[in-house]
Structure 1
Amino acid sequence: MMTDGTSTQADIDRVNFLLTLRRRGISDQAVLRAMGEVPRTAFVSADLATSAYADQALPIECGQTISQPYVVAYMTEQLGVKPQHRVLEIGTGSGYQAAVLSKLAAEVVSIERYRTLADQARRRLNAAGCGNVEVIVGDGFEGCPDRAPFDRIIVTAAAEEVPAALADQLADGGVMILPLGPQNGPQHLVRITKSQTPEGTRLAEDRLIPVRFVPMLRGKAREL
């Protein structure tokens, strides 16, 4: 809010945005607080600022998108991040999801295949005071093995199956959220919970909600 007691349109949009999240079933107070603290306008281009708080995905550079606020909040809530957790994010994009996670976790490592997006996200995250986020240019399918294990892993692009390297980098008792499904077919958010049993490693899978994400691609981008 402005110091003279009046409200800007951005203030009003942010309040309505939080009310929409509550109406759609987001109830975790820490997640709602994080969503309210991160200025979504700082993670979209200036020409889309007036649409930043609309509950819709928006385009960003390199043919990617910033997910709609509800999906960001829902994935974050289902991930169950605690203050002591180390989180791996696959697909930095604009940096918005990483910024939300930074309010909840001890450390966030985010992998982005496009150098342009990684550089922009670092600038935005630094400006937003998200000092516990590290953005790395790399192949999301490979994760970040030298920093593993991670308590939580979130993937913001759709894979056709759970990447084996990411499952390996998930800590015992850890949780991974990712969209699964073909590029041109039905996709669902899936929650994977890892546990060790006498028979070996177990990955329990819960199907959550239908979604639509850009495809997860292998390797670093040769350009951009």
Structure 2
Amino acid sequence: MIKYHPSKQLMQKHVAGELPVGLSVAIAAHIELCGACKLELDALESKQAEAAFTNSGSYSEEAAESSTEEDLAFEAMMNDITQLDMSSEMVPRVPQMFDYQDKSVQLPRAIAALKLGSFINAGKVSRARFELDEGPLRSSLLHIKPGGEIPEHTHTGFELTLLLDGSFEDESGSYVPGDFIMLDGRHNHTPKTEEGCLCFTLVDSALHFNKGLSKLLNPIGNLIY
């Protein structure tokens, strides 16, 4: 059962279109996997639509008194568009699959629509970045093989992990597909998996490794996040 979800504030900003692409993609993918958040999204969208139509109604009454030639031309164009014949043919959606660990996993639509770069392997951890131009934000597909782990670390910014397949655990608990986990500099954790897992991740700064030999990675942290 999914235990970790986007906050209400994030959901509201997602509906309003106020989030970076990577974060909005993660929320959309979570919603596809989580029935409870799908219901919450529908309620938020309905509320926003009601508010928008209420505001546009009062605006239209004022605008009607001062219509310009451009307004009339736009209205005529929209009328022409709505008179066009519309196709009723339904085109089936072909699920996008991702192959890993000798199996195929169906990716959420929002993630499947992104262009993925090449994988970089480091032991039992593989990571490929999605080709999004979002400044310091890095959206990736992360695969950890069975028995793998990422050394204990914290974050100089934030880290979002959306588990897509398999399972993993850390000091805070265990996670199942659909779990939406957001961490920042207040958290230390050591993700590890017995069966292997596939995740969508989003970070805005380098990881900071805390213990042993893994500290040697910190000087190049900006290159590997």
How does the TM-score come out when normalised to structure 1?
0.30
Q: Which has the higher contact order (CA 8 A, sep 6+)?
A: 2
